[in-house]
Amino acid sequence: MSSGKVLKMTKEARELFDSFDSNHDGKIEKSELIPLLNKISKIYGLPNPTQSEINEGFKQLDLNKNNLIEFEEFIHFYQELYNQMN
């Protein structure tokens, strides 16, 4: 991926992450994840995830298993999604 695309993807990911980090602590809790996944689904024309998919997605995103998703964890997910859709 070119540096321009990386910068664009990182900016998009940060904006999306920050918009759902409702308490602005730099982490997304599971309760904050639901609207985030619904918005990503809408952006990419996918159906909203089920509760089971949300639970599984949270487990996959929470790489350090602290029950929170930090931006560093989120960017890995967003990059995979970005690559699949572009």
How confident is the model over 47-86, as pLDDT tens digits? 998 999 889 988 988 999 999 999 999 998 888 887 887 7
Phi, psi for 83 (deg, rounded to 5): -65, -40
At residue 26, the pLDDT reads 93
Helix and strand numbers (H, E) in the chain are 4, 2
Query: Does residue 24 sit in helix, strand or coil?
Result: coil
At residue 69, the pLDDT reads 95
At residue 75, the pLDDT reads 93
At residue 71, the pLDDT reads 95
- All structural domains of the chain, each given as residue ranges with its CATH number in brackets, are 22-85 (1.10.238.10)
pTM of the model: 0.75
| Chain centre to alpha carbon of residue 45 | 16
How confident is the model over 3-56, as pLDDT tens digits? 888 898 999 999 989 988 888 999 999 888 888 788 888 888 999 989 998 899
B/e letters for 50-72, b = 16+ CB within 10 Å, e = fewer, are eeeebeebbeebbeeeeebbbbe
At residue 13, the pLDDT reads 92
At residue 34, the pLDDT reads 85
